Amino acid sequence: MIISETDANWAADEFINYFKNFTSIEDYLRYVKTELVAQTNQLTPLQDEFFNEDIHPEEMEFEIKFIGNRFEQSLPQEHYNNLLAAVSSHNNESNIPGRELRWMVYEKRTQLLVGFIRFGSPTINSKPRNIWLGKPPNLSVFNRHAAMGFVIVPSQPFGYNYLGGKFLALLCVSHFARETLNKVFEKDIALFETTSLYGSTTSASQYDGLKPFMRYKGLTESKFLPLLHEEVFHRLHDRFTVLNNNTPLTDNKASSKKMKRQTKMIASIKKSLKDQDKLNEFNSVIDMAYGLTQKKRFYISDYGYGNVREVINQEHDKLVPGQNWDKFHLENITAWWKRKASKRYETLKKDGRFRNKVELWTDDTNIQIIR
């Protein structure tokens, strides 16, 4: 779509003024998170919702609470979104197209929250996945057997004191999770995928050290532009909608619609700018913004099956349990975590590094993002 020079210059300046303030992905995430928190209207303090006890891991028991009114005795979506927004460094989208499953995990004895999980359909393409499989998969077969973890976020200080991120990741790859996903997604799940929030910024993630349950398979090749924050994005898209005969740039039900709309706006600006200096400035800032994004660390789990790759590649018809199958039962995974978490807990206590403060973005916007 070609737009007027006036509109093109205005839209270019919106992008330039937004992205020129960031020099790293941490700058971007902190800005977006701070803006989001400033818009929240939290009437009651949240600290009392989250786990902040001094309990040995061996004494802990956990309870998974389902989110959404399709489940019995579930918690509301809004409750999940509000509490996650207070904890997570990432700006998590509240409305996601496609099938999904959300959990909140509580320590049973205290009934305090230790973390958040959200499963969904996996991304369409992934270089490390294709390398592991040996070729791009048949997507209809792949989607029948795969799920992805989009949110695996421990509350703090549970994450720090007790390897909480690892515990939540282990829950995702338990047979309990697989069987639940089979019911909710109406599939035959055998492969779990997730990525770290940061790739090239840090050489480690909460998913490392979890063999045989999860394994690192390389860095993604995803190169994408960070999304504009809500206010700026809507100001731009509202104008482009008017210019497009009052029609949104993509269907309102399209997947990744915000990214697709942003991409179309950038293409339109580039085609419409006649001032070469302004075009050069715009291209320079957009190129810089692309550099903010990271290659992410990519991890998979086969849920203890021995032939997931062969089934997805249509070389085998039936999934077969492998030698590690029994390790993936929920009680065995929890016992494995308790041994690891006990060592962590005892070391922190001995060294005087055990933390006793709940970390919430609604209280402090200087939270350490990259740990």
CA distances from 369 to 31, 299, 361 (A): 12, 21, 11
- CATH numbers and ranges of domains, the chain: 5-29+225-290 (no CATH), 45-222+317-351 (3.40.630.30)
CB-count burial class (<10 Å; 0-12, 13-18, 19+) for 140 = exposed
Residues forming beta bridges with residue 62, ordered by sequence position: 107
> In terms of DSSP bridges, do strands 191-195 and 112-120 run parallel, antiparallel, or are they unpaired?
unpaired
Helix ranges restricted to H, 173-256: 175-185, 230-243
CB atoms within 10 A of CB 351: 8
Q: How far apart are the first and last CA of the chain?
A: 43
Band (pLDDT 50/70/90 cuts) for residue 226 is confident
What is the spatial distance between Cα 241 and Cα 257, in angstroms, rounded to a whole number? 14
What is the pLDDT at residue 275?
A: 94
Q: Per-residue pLDDT for 200 more than 60?
A: no
CA distances from 37 to 14, 47, 87, 88, 201 (A): 22, 15, 11, 11, 24
- What is the tens place of the pLDDT at every residue in 53-62? 999 999 999 9
- What is the tens place of the pLDDT at every residue in 57-88? 999 999 999 999 889 889 999 999 889 988 87
Q: Which residues contact 47 (CB under 8 A, 6 or more apart)?
A: 358, 360, 363
- The pTM score is 0.81
E-strand ranges in the chain read 62-66, 100-107, 112-120, 146-154, 191-195, 215-219, 297-301
- For 136, the token pair is 């791009």
Q: Per-residue pLDDT for 30 more than 90?
A: no
With H, G, I as helix, E, B as strand and everything else as coil, classify residue 23.
coil
What is the pLDDT at residue 93?
A: 55
